DNA sequence: ATTCCACAGGAAACAGTGGTCC
DNA sequence: GGACCACTGTTTCCTGTGGAAT
């Protein structure tokens, strides 16, 4: 075991390049967000109605991922609540991610959880409680509004990734909440703050929701490479030990993340993984080569996980793509059916397989291209974009595929 | 100009699960 | 205990598509 002990010894004695690891975490929000003063002030201004006892306008914030939308909302709302508490004004501000709570009912359940009226809440208040399932949407909605009205609750409801609600009949909720204030004459209000990655999602909304939801709008522009550089530089000063990192590394991280629409989260993650790699090989400092390896690793890890965690049927489809000659849809389906037959599984329909294929394309593990062969019909040519070794590695422990001798 | 191929992908329906309500 | 509800994964049905063949 001396080899293992040696490794542990070296790790223990080796120099730690990072002294404040938490600041490299994607979820870490610094006290002041660089380059987002205008947006923060703007949001604060719009929410500040509550100090006059009025309902703030509903708001929509747009911007690509990693442009600081959620962080701005979190910091501003946090201070708003603190200030309100000092002044004796009660405000509750649940922040709900609509991608995680991805159905209308789940959103309502999350709000109830935040207010303490979910199924774990007090037993006597049945008419205000929201169980995990079993109620109609209308009833769940009514119960929440009843609770808000009865207790005169002032709520700023933040829905992150609000665009993912629209396709799943979630705009019913948005409609109800934006209109709820008219019903709450006796006190209490709901003000909605929506955060969206997609600028175009509004077009899909019910026109009545659209008009009340977009009372105010703010667009978050992507960070420039220079801004990313400064953000990383500040973060690196907090996170790294002295001389553990060079400007060149920061520049490279900024440039790499900047190429993909100025995503600050990606830039920081790249820095974190680079540091981990450097520490693992006991390097005296993080160098540019670590960044390049880190970039590669982040990409590969994401693809590896996407394949490894895929449903059994998805893995079979992946295998079928690998086995088909040209990767045309028909061929892939035939190969998939053959695989199913071998392991005695009932194959899914071709319609479902095309759906799985487009889901896999979204994950970035395959690519498709429309091929028109005239009378030979129209089809897609499907290709695996992940190195075959990664695919094999990700699939090697799957018991279903083991039956196929894979 | 028309026909035809092999699909893509939208919409609606359905089955199964896990729950509440009365 | 039966009626009802949300939700997910799936099937069924159907319309639309672009270019080679006729």
Contact A158, A95 (CB under 8 A): yes
Summarize the confidence of residues A329-349 as an average pLDDT: 93
Which of A's residues 362-381 have CB atoms within 7 A of nucleic strand C?
372-378
pLDDT value at residue A167: 64
Distance (Å, rounded) from C-alpha A342 to C-alpha A320? Answer: 12
Distances (CA, A) of A154 to A195, A278, A392: 20, 49, 54
pLDDT value at residue A95: 93
pLDDT value at residue A264: 94
User: What confidence tier does A77 reach under pLDDT thresholds 50, 70, 90?
Assistant: very high
Interval A221-277: pLDDT, tens? 999 999 999 999 999 999 998 888 999 999 999 999 998 788 999 999 999 999 999
Distances (CA, A) of A346 to A182, A337, A361, A405: 53, 8, 24, 19
Q: Going by DSSP bridges, is the β-strand pair A378-384/A154-160 parallel, antiparallel, or unpaired?
A: unpaired
Q: Does A122 score more than 90 pLDDT?
A: no
- Residue–nucleotide distance: A377 CA to C17 C1' (Å): 10
pLDDT value at residue A203: 72
User: What confidence tier does A2 reach under pLDDT thresholds 50, 70, 90?
Assistant: low
Q: Which nucleotide is nearest to A353 (CA to C1')?
A: C10
Is the C-beta atom of A133 closer than 7 angstroms to strand C?
yes
Q: Which nucleotide is nearest to A101 (CA to C1')?
A: C7
Q: Does A186 score more than 60 pLDDT?
A: yes
Give strand B nucleotides closer than 7 A to any protein Cβ. 3-11, 18-21
Whole-prediction pTM value?
A: 0.85
Contact A315, A393 (CB under 8 A): no
A107/A200: higher pLDDT:
A107
Q: Does A109 score more than 60 pLDDT?
A: yes
Q: How many CB atoms lie within 10 A of CB A29?
A: 14
Percent of chain A whose predicted confidence (pLDDT) is above 70: 95
Distance (Å, rounded) from C-alpha A375 to C-alpha A388? Answer: 33
pLDDT value at residue A402: 76
pLDDT value at residue A261: 80
At A346 the three-state DSSP class reads coil
């Amino acid at each position: 075991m001396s080899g293992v002990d040696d490794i542990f010894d070296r790790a223990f004695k080796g120099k730690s390049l990072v002294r404040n690891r938490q600041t490299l975490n994607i979820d870490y929000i610094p006290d002041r967000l660089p380059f987002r003063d205008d947006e923060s002030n703007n949001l604060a201004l719009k929410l500040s109605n509550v100090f006059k006892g009025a309902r703030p306008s509903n708001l929509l914030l747009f911007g690509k991922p990693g442009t600081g939308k959620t962080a701005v909302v979190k910091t501003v709302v946090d201070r708003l609540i603190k200030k309100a508490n000092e002044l004796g004004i009660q405000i509750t501000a649940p922040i709900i991610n609509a991608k995680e709570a991805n159905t209308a009912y789940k959103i309502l359940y999350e709000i109830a959880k935040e207010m303490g009226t979910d199924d774990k809440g007090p037993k006597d208040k049945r008419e205000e409680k929201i169980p995990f399932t079993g109620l109609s949407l209308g009833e769940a909605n009514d119960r929440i509004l009843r609770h808000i009205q009865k207790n005169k609750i002032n709520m700023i409801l933040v829905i992150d990734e609000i665009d993912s609600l629209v396709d799943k009949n979630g705009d019913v909720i948005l409609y109800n909440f934006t209109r709820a204030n008219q019903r709450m004459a006796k006190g209490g209000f709901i003000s909605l703050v929506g955060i969206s990655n997609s600028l175009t999602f509004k077009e899909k909304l019910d026109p009545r929701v659209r008009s009340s939801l977009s009372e105010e709008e703010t667009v978050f522009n992507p960070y420039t490479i220079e801004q990313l550089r400064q953000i990383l530089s500040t973060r690196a000063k907090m996170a790294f030990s002295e001389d553990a990192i060079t400007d060149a590394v920061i520049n490279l991280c900024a440039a790499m993340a900047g190429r993909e629409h100025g995503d600050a989260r990606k830039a920081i993650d790249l820095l974190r993984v680079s540091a981990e790699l450097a520490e693992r090989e006991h390097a005296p400092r993080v160098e540019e080569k670590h960044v390049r390896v880190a970039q590669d690793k982040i990409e590969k890890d994401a693809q590896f996980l996407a394949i490894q965690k895929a449903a059994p049927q998805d893995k079979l489809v992946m295998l079928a793509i690998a086995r088909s000659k040209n990767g045309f849809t028909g061929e892939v389906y035939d190969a998939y059916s053959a695989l199913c037959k071998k392991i005695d599984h009932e194959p899914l329909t071709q319609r479902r397989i095309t759906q799985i294929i487009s889901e896999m394309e979204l994950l970035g593990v395959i690519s498709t291209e429309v091929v028109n062969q005239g009378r030979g019909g129209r089809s897609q040519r499907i290709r695996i974009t992940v190195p075959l070794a990664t695919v094999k590695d990700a699939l090697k422990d799957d018991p279903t595929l083991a039956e196929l001798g894979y």
